[in-house]
Structure 1
Amino acid sequence: MTSPVIHFEIGGRDLGRMASLYGELFGWRLQPEGPEYSLVPPAEGGVGQFAMFSDPDGNVIGLLHQAES
């Protein structure tokens, strides 16, 4: 695949329900990465390092450092 999807987000209000739904549909196991954020472990090989945080004004910022291939 020349341009694979390396990151996407799904927002929701009830993390427990979302984890249950996507676990049943796709076999995903969410890993908590903070009080209001979880990640699905990457497939074989990984994609790199990912961080999310809020600035002083509450703007959410996400950074991705791609793994070298």
Structure 2
Amino acid sequence: MANPVVHFEVLGSDAETLKRFYGEAFSWQMQDVMEGSYYMVDTGAENGVAGGVGAAPGGAGGHVTFYVEVDDPTAALEKISSLGGRTVQEPMDVPNGPTIALFADPEGHVVGLVKRA
């Protein structure tokens, strides 16, 4: 399987401000999926990458993450660890959605993994 980038997130302290900023800056449509704390992004492009904007969990600092699709997040994390990366978040099932995980590369950049449901 190829491993395409399939999702991006822009998270920060104020989901509503981020929603308004990115929506107006790029004419993106936003769908509220978590009661005002997270919005799915429709960029309007046929072949663009889907994404989301929202509040960072637990008051964490703002960040941008992209997600790479994999067949097996656990196996991918093991391979990443063997290459000098580290697990940031073990695989977890999103309710009614995919399985996601996070890792940090050898320089600390956090990247997501996703296995579609």
- Tell me the TM-score normalised to structure 1 length: 0.51
Shift of 1:41: 2.5
**Equivalent position of 1:39 in the other structure:** 40
Q: Percent identity?
A: 35
Judge conservation of contact 2:19–2:39 (CA < 8 Å) in 1.
Answer: no
For residues 48 and 4 of structure 2, what CA distance do their matches in structure 1 show?
12
User: Where do 5+ consecutive residues of structure 2 fail to align?
Assistant: 50-89, 99-114
Shift of 1:65: 2.1
| Structure 1 segments of 4+ aligned residues over 4 angstroms from their partners | none
What amino acid maps onto 2:116 in structure 1? H
Distance 1:25 1:46, change over 3 A: closer
- SS of residue in 2 equivalent to 1:44: coil
Say how many residue pairs are matched.
Answer: 54
For residues 14 and 60 of structure 1, what CA distance do their matches in structure 2 show?
26
What amino acid maps onto 1:32 in structure 2? D
User: Where do 5+ consecutive residues of structure 1 fail to align?
Assistant: 48-58
Please provide the CA RMSD for this pair.
Answer: 3.6
Structure with the bigger RCO (C-alpha within 8 Å, sep 6+) is: 2
**Equivalent position of 2:18 in the other structure:** 18
Alignment of 1:65 with 2:116, yes or no, is yes
Q: Which has the higher strand share?
A: 2
Higher gyration radius (CA): 2
Distance 1:44 1:21, change over 3 A: same
Distance 1:39 1:27, change over 3 A: same
Deviations along 1:17-48, whole A, 9 cap, x unmatched?
A: 1111101211112111113221013643798x
For residues 24 and 12 of structure 1, what CA distance do their matches in structure 2 show?
17
Judge conservation of contact 1:19–1:29 (CA < 8 Å) in 2.
Answer: no
